Amino acid sequence: MRFKGFYMGRGQGAAALLLLCLLAECLWTVGHTPMTQQDYRYARCGREMWEKPSPLQGYFTTCGNLQGDGTLAYRFAGFPLTAERWVLLGVDHFRKPENRLYAGGSLNGSTWEARHELTQVRWLLRAPFVIFALWLGGGLWWVSRRLFGNGGGALALSFYVFCPAVVHFACTHNNEILALWGLYGSIYTAIGVAHAMQGPRHKWRPRILLLTFAFGMTAAAHLLAALVGFAAGAVFLFYLAERRRSYASQILVFSSLGAVVLLFASFGFRLSAFLYVFTGGAARFWFTTESLRAFLLSTVTIDGTVMPLNLPIIVATLAALALYIGSRRSRYFGNTAPLLMVLALVLLYTTQTFTAPWLWALPFLFTFLGGVFADALERPKPRFALIAGTALVLAQAVLCLGSLPRG
């Protein structure tokens, strides 16, 4: 099936089906997860960012100046509710004065005066995070497929779709899924810029603008993720630019300046709140194995049987590492780059605020698994790799579906 500028083949169809599975998992999880106090906090402070300044003198919102949190999750959580309120007020102008919800068709006072008119709050609050999880899944498949073909792309996306941690963070309010999206996009956009630099200059600008946007959005989600993305992106950019390395520094300077402007905009161009980015300590980090152990030892109870939640992913990773080390044909840049990102992220933890850098490593891990799996399919006897990969994906799907909430 071919559309204008887009070809819908077997690989695209499989990816669309997998993303529909992820959407179904997220809808089920959201529908069976009650609202919490944290949900209302994100909604309240996100709406304050969009609708009016904080009534507290000297603070960005009633949540404070967010020196430990990025603004992006608050803005995305509050925007659907703010948009619904704007629609209600717009429709109110077309009602007769005696039938209007608000006198004069406007609200004066608290942001929450319209809360009794808002509907489907649970779904609206979480919809942006589900959308970004789906967006990242599409990007993961696109990168993996371009690098490794349909087989590698399908395996990478399958593990992503049936990863319980991804489903959990996609259905809750947090900056992690946004930082995950931004960091993965930053790294592979930087690699894309380096490849574009080998061609005509008129193709550079769109990718440089996209890199700037990725850096800025990542910084608005989490400062540490943006710094890691900038450092790793710079290394890959200089490595791949080859004869055009003299331009790499200029690209990084302009991209970082543009990212700072976007970060400033996320604070509503309020300098007093923006300065806390540099003093809040959100990017302070150290190293620990606790998060890795928690991921390895996570369990799920299915029909009274306790089972390791991420065992198929662990087995696939061990097999991929063995094949990567033992096979020279697997040790190339497409496989090495995501593996280096996994090693750089999996042991990080932030000391001043709660975050989950180990989660940021997952899409790079799945990209690595897809690459090694694609190499195994090109060996003389690919049937074993195909059967083993399919069995691991199916086992992970069963464990993931078994971990979804039932209440």
Question: Which tokens in the block code for residue 138?
Answer: 């599409």
Provide the mean pLDDT of the chain.
87
> DSSP string covering 146-212, please?
HHHHHHHHHHHHHHHHT-HHHHHHHTS--SHHHHHHHHHHHHHHHHHHHHHTTS-GGGHHHHHHHHH
> DSSP string covering 284-313, please?
-EEE-SHHHHHHHH-EEEETTEEEETTHHH
Q: Which residues contact 385 (CB under 8 A, 6 or more apart)?
A: 373, 376, 377, 379
pLDDT of residue 27: 95
pLDDT digits (tens, 9 = 90+) for 86-118: 777 777 677 676 666 665 545 444 444 455 556
CB atoms within 10 A of CB 41: 16
Question: Which tokens in the block code for residue 144?
Answer: 């993996």
Which residues of the chain carry a pLDDT beneath 50?
A: 105, 107-113
pLDDT of residue 55: 55
pLDDT of residue 64: 62
Separation between Cα atoms, residue 13 and residue 63, nearest integer Å: 44
Q: Which residues contact 290 (CB under 8 A, 6 or more apart)?
A: 349
pLDDT of residue 328: 87
pLDDT of residue 166: 96
Separation between Cα atoms, residue 405 and residue 407, nearest integer Å: 6
Note if the pTM is more than 0.85: yes
pLDDT of residue 109: 43
* HSE-CB for 283 with a 13 A CA cutoff: 16
> DSSP string covering 65-77, please?
--SSS-SHHHHHH
Separation between Cα atoms, residue 228 and residue 56, nearest integer Å: 34
pLDDT digits (tens, 9 = 90+) for 147-174: 999 999 999 999 999 999 999 999 988 8
- Distance in angstroms between the alpha carbons of the first and the last residue of the chain: 41
